[in-house]
């Protein structure tokens, strides 16, 4: 079963600093200001509110403090380009970073395992801050996004039918990158800032080389990785920059001892399976102990409280949405009320039982942007952790083609046992010391082969075909709760 971009999450990304841009400002110069500082701050603040509400890493305290401390040193260098610089860590498994107008800089949780020092962290922050300083973040916002492909354009309004919370002000998503010229301009400015702040500018190339080795386009919920939003092959020619860098007088001494790796212990690696995963043709959401069957070959995306499955041609959708705020009553009008709240017309509902769970269902009609007139089968199922809406939506012309699949999905809803849900464990980062004779494959097997040896080599910046130096501190991937 394939997975595709999840607009629920990508919409939260707003006009990211490394998204598409029409800016043509020469490298090393600032774009002509097109917004006042107050306007930039207001734009960033609105988007930041939604991002922090919907995507901030719940357990990211130590990592966020690291980002804020390192960012504070860089802020003294970049200070004039934003009234106040702010740094946050978002709960996305894809390794990436981006910035918004007004000096809002974000790192994803998934980026940290690929960093090995505070110099690395500073290099990423400086790159994103450089995009703000060069005017790229504003240009991205003003340019907006081109019309979305038809499949994604349909995905978004369907995703919002049952409980979407993100405002239209944070709609542009991360689909493309700046050209190589703009990326190199940001890297060059970042290098000068790193020297001034007491960090090693060589870290820029170290990070780029590491992330360029990844061949992952998105994580499993569709958030793009660094390689999708940053032009590859833009490492700096540091030798050519030596005259420029040596002319920079460090405003700060180098930071003290680096215990950066210790802050990575227990960090969730990659996607969190507790939030949703597909096994064969069943979608499981262990965190809410709910499961349902998905038609073969349908694309599946999910976040903490919902799942959306799309048919191969993106002309039909199945939505599973947790609605704990709703008062469930085993009466025919319960599903009708929820459908009407989502913008569908009133229709007569019916009561039913789904695998021992009380439920109500209704077939109704309405209009959805991108699909036009639609017909939907909407059910409200009462589970132990609260009510769930299960809806099948298709254009009126196509509904009959998918009616049986919608019905089967609704009837397949079941409660996962406590043991079944508890048995689905996330993968986390641990730190250990390499043993004599270790290879990357051997280290991977020692921890159950959760990841390939080649990925461990990338995480630790080693050559996959060479032995691991004895005594070296390594990042490894293990299974289990923190």
Q: What confidence category does residue 31 fall into, taking pLDDT thresholds of 50, 70 and 90?
A: very low
Q: Binning pLDDT at 50, 70 and 90, where does residue 19 land?
A: very low
What does the pLDDT read at residue 239?
A: 80
* Site of tokens 């802020």: 75
How large is the average pLDDT for residues 132-139? Answer: 83
Which token pair is 387?
């009510």
**Are 30 and 134 within 8 A, CB to CB?**
yes
Model pLDDT for residues 227-255, shown as the tens digit of each residue? 878 888 888 888 877 667 766 666 555 56
CATH fold of 273-422: Protein Transport Mog1p; Chain A (3.40.1000)
The residue assigned the tokens 């079944």 is 420
Where does CATH 3.10.350.10 sit in the chain?
427-479
Phi/psi class of residue 436: alpha, beta or left (left: φ > 0; alpha: ψ in -120 to 50)?
beta
pLDDT band at residue 406, thresholds of 50, 70 and 90? very high
- Phi, psi for 372 (deg, rounded to 5): 80, -140
Residue 153 has pLDDT above 80, yes or no: no
Domain 427-479: what homologous superfamily? LysM domain (3.10.350.10)
Beta-sheet pairing, 86-90 with 104-108 = parallel
Residue 152 has pLDDT above 50, yes or no: no
Q: Would you say residue 377 has pLDDT above 50?
A: yes
Residue 9 reports pLDDT greater than 80: no
The distance of Cα 278 from the centroid of its chain, to the nearest Å, equals: 18
Taking all residues of the chain, what is their mean pLDDT, rounded to a whole number?
Answer: 80
Of 230 and 51, which is predicted with more confidence?
230
Instruction: For residue 4, give both structure tokens.
Output: 């595709």
Range(s) for CATH 3.40.1000.10 in the chain? 273-422
The answer on pLDDT for 316 being more than 50 is yes
**What sign does the dihedral 333-339-343-348 (CA atoms) show?**
negative
Phi-psi region of 298 (alpha: psi -120 to 50; beta: other; left: phi over 0): beta
Task: Give percent above pLDDT 70 in the chain.
Answer: 77
> pLDDT tens digits, residue range 188-219?
999 999 999 999 999 999 999 999 998 876 66
Q: State the Cα–Cα distance between residues 265 and 113, nearest whole angstrom.
A: 10
CA-based nearest residue to 138, from 38, 26, 226: 38
Query: CA–CA separation, 31 vs 12, rounded Å?
Result: 25
d(CA 375, CA 363): 7
Q: What is the C-alpha separation between 284 and 363, in angstroms, rounded?
A: 25
Cα Rg of the chain, angstroms: 24
Q: How many angstroms separate the CA atoms of 109 and 31, rounded?
A: 31
Tokens of 33: 């200001």
């Amino acid at each position: 079963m394939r997975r595709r971009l999840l607009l629920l999450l990508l919409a939260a990304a707003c006009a990211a600093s490394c998204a598409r841009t029409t800016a043509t400002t020469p490298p090393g110069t600032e774009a002509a200001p097109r917004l006042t500082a107050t306007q930039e701050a207001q734009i960033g603040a609105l988007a930041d509110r939604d991002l922090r509400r919907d995507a901030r890493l719940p357990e990211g305290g130590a990592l966020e403090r690291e980002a804020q401390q390192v960012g504070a040193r860089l802020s003294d260098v970049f200070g004039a380009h934003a009234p106040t610089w702010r740094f946050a860590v978002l709960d996305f498994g894809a390794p990436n970073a981006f910035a918004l107008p007004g000096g809002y800089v974000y790192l994803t949780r998934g980026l940290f395992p690929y960093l090995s020092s505070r110099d690395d962290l500073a290099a990423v922050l400086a790159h994103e801050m450089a995009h703000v300083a060069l005017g790229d973040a504003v240009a991205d916002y003003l340019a907006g996004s081109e019309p979305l492909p038809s499949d994604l354009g349909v995905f978004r309004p369907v995703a919002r039918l049952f409980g979407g919370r993100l405002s239209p002000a944070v709609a542009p998503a991360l689909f493309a990158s700046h050209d190589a010229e703009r990326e190199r301009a940001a890297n060059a400015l970042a290098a000068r800032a790193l020297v001034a702040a007491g960090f090693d500018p060589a870290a820029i190339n170290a990070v780029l080389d590491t992330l360029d080795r990844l061949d992952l386009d998105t994580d499993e919920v569709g958030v793009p990785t660094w390689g999708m939003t940053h032009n590859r092959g833009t490492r700096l020619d540091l030798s050519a920059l030596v005259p420029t860098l040596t002319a920079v007088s460090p405003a700060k001494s180098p930071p003290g001892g680096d215990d950066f790796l210790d802050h990575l212990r227990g960090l969730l690696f990659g996607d969190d399976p507790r939030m949703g995963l597909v096994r064969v043709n069943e979608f499981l959401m262990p965190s809410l102990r709910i499961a349902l069957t998905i038609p073969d070959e349908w694309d599946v995306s999910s976040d903490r409280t919902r799942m959306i499955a799309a048919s191969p041609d993106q002309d039909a959708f199945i939505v599973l949405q947790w609605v704990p705020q709703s008062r469930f009553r085993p009466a025919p009008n319960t599903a009708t009320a929820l459908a009407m709240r989502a913008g569908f017309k009133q229709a007569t509902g019916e009561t039913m039982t789904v695998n021992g769970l009380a439920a109500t269902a209704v077939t109704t009609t309405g209009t959805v942007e991108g699909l036009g007139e639609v017909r939907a089968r909407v059910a409200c199922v009462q589970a132990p952790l609260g009510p769930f809406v299960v809806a099948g939506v298709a254009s009126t012309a196509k509904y009959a083609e998918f009616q049986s699949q919608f019905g089967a999905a609704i009837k397949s809803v079941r409660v996962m046992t406590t043991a079944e849900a508890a048995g689905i464990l996330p993968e986390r980062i641990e730190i250990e010391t390499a043993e004599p004779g270790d290879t990357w494959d051997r280290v991977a097997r020692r921890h159950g082969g959760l990841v390939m040896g080649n990925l461990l080599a990338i995480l630790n910046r080693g050559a996959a075909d060479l032995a691991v130096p004895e005594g070296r501190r390594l990042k490894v991937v293990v299974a289990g709760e923190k």
